[in-house]
Amino acid sequence: MICRYFKVAHRDMVYLKFILEAYEGMNVMSTVDNQAGIIRIAIMPGFVEDMDALLAELGKKVNMEPVQWNDEPCGF
């Protein structure tokens, strides 16, 4: 599993969650630091290229700043 971490505005978290849930089986989005607005998008094997393209498109509509996050392992 590949994880991407982003800092997003709180108002955009629910929007992103709904959009990403539509791609069921490809990813799981979770909040890792609600105070700071940090989300984790865990991408399932085989879908990395598709999800990177989707995240690039979403980044045109929503400010998603990539961040480093090392406090939690990437897995469920």
Q: pLDDT truncated to tens, each residue of the chain (76 aa)?
A: 899 999 999 999 999 999 999 999 999 999 999 999 999 999 999 999 999 999 999 999 999 999 998 766 676 5
Chain-centroid distance of CA 71 in Å reads 16
Query: How many Cβ atoms are within 10 Å of 32's Cβ, its own excluded?
Result: 15
Sheet holding 65-66, edge to edge: 27-33, 38-43, 2-7, 65-66
The predicted model scores a pTM of 0.88
Per DSSP, 75 falls in state -
